[in-house]
Structure 1
Amino acid sequence: MTLLSSCTRAARISAAVIALLACGSVLLQIGLNLLGGEPLAEALWRMSRFFTILTNLIIAATFAVVAGGRSVAPRWLLAMTAAIAGVGIVYHALLSHLLVQVGAEIIANHGVHTVVPILSVIWFAMFAPVDGLRWRDTWTVVIWPVLYCVYILARGSVTGMYPYPFIDANTLSPVQMAINIAGLTLFFLALGLLLVGMLRLRGRKSAN
């Protein structure tokens, strides 16, 4: 089943709102960097190393497609919802204390780390097709995080810079790095299971 076949007008309008918020938050962050004197090319290159930024851009594109009435594979929607949920959880649990922000920085930061993750999960819970996913589809949620880890380790081996302390090859041993990546994979797998379980629960309630 495609997502399009189960989309209502409310689903498309709310998807458009999420797409605009995700894109707007990223653009605001870029604008703040430019106002701080950072050249555009450098700002884009630096921001492209963050899982948060990349995932918000993918979410923006995904929900823009949904808002436009086109079909999206349920597995893709599951994977991206788990990814953006992970962004919010990891940030507030492990990273928020590392940043000191003021003014518009707070708006941009909470846009990508709080508002978009929460709204994406709510949208998934309300509008994702109940019969479009099975427990076996959960494995798809680990593809994007693993690809990101490969990307950032390859990039860091050249630049020497890593965006997150739990994937910093400058300070972590290979064994610890492998443990962290394995833990991250299990974390996203658990999120996928929760999301699929949430849909199946909705399906059972609808059937009663």
Structure 2
Amino acid sequence: MAGFSLRGLFTRRGLIAVAAILGWFGLTVQLYLILLLRWEVGASLLGGLVNFFSFFTVLSNTLVASVLTCALNLRISRGQAFMLRPAVSGAVAASIVLVGLAYSLLLRHLWHPQGWQWLADELLHDVMPLLFLLYWWCCVPKGELRFKHIGLWMLYPVLYFAYLLLRGNLLGLYPYPFIAVDKLGYPQVLLNALGILAGFVLVSLLLLGLDHWLGRRQSRPL
């Protein structure tokens, strides 16, 4: 039986494994904290689970951890092949970069988490965006993205926003202050959403440009 090897840890596959573990760990800690708080106040744990998956940060980090896990080739399947498509990895990269930017620009100053919440916060908003961007840069085949992909990628934040409006209308709960219709009103919330969508498109265009540039570099003869 092979022993633990630092050399094995720092192979490309080993680094992807570390990134995947950190992603799932951050999500697990955040879920535990939400459920613990619900338990302490006697609220529904099922409601806590729904609340957990109502955050764009959680959904995007789940996609990140899933892609990284698929990249380990632990099991060959159609689902794995789909998740590893450059267009899918590009969509996930755009989404998780948006998570990091939006949090730093709009939300970080609103609270100061401590302890395990701080750890989960750092992993989901800072560490995983950087790690997945590094994975996308080094491990995802380049030169396959097209402008049409950005239109498809936009469906994710648009459908998510529509879900938040529907959920907020039914429950009066909004996971982010910049989409709180009860406090800001629909005109301001729609304006905020358009601004964030514009940021997503800009990030996507940047990734598209990098994809084309790196694809040309890789195709040049030595």
TM-score, normalising length: structure 1: 0.86
Quick check: 66-75 or 90-99, which moved more?
66-75
Amino acid in structure 1 at the alignment position of 2:126? T
Determine whether 1:46 maps to 2:51.
yes
Query: Max radius of gyration: which structure?
Result: 2
Unaligned residue ranges in structure 2 (runs of 5+): 1-9
Match of 1:167 among 171, 176, 179: 179
Alignment-derived partner of residue 118 in structure 1 = 130
Alignment-derived partner of residue 217 in structure 2 = 205
Determine whether 1:85 maps to 2:97.
yes
1:12 offset after TM fit, Å?
Answer: 4.3
Alignment-derived partner of residue 85 in structure 2 = 73
Q: 1:60 to 1:147 in 2, by over 3 A?
A: same
Amino acid in structure 2 at the alignment position of 1:175? P
Find the aligned partners of 1:134 and 1:84 in 2 and give their Cα distance.
19
Kindly indicate whether the alpha-carbon contact (under 8 Å) linking 1:11 and 1:123 is maintained by their aligned counterparts in 2: no
Match of 1:103 among 99, 110, 115: 115
Kindly indicate whether the alpha-carbon contact (under 8 Å) linking 2:146 and 2:208 is maintained by their aligned counterparts in 1: yes
Find the aligned partners of 1:12 and 1:192 in 2 and give their Cα distance.
26
1:201 offset after TM fit, Å?
Answer: 1.9
Amino acid in structure 2 at the alignment position of 1:182? L
Alignment-derived partner of residue 4 in structure 2 = none
Name the SS for the 1:130 alignment partner. Answer: coil
Name the SS for the 1:133 alignment partner. Answer: coil
Determine whether 1:62 maps to 2:73.
no
Q: Deviations over 1:141-186 (max 9, x none)?
A: 2111111101111111111010112211112232222222222221
More contact order relative to length (CA 8 Å, sep ≥ 6): 1
Paired residue total: 200
Percent identity between the two aligned chains? 31
Q: 1:106 to 1:78 in 2, by over 3 A?
A: same
Amino acid in structure 1 at the alignment position of 2:195? G
1:10 offset after TM fit, Å?
Answer: 5.2
1:98 offset after TM fit, Å?
Answer: 1.2
Find the aligned partners of 2:162 and 2:17 in 1 and give their Cα distance.
31
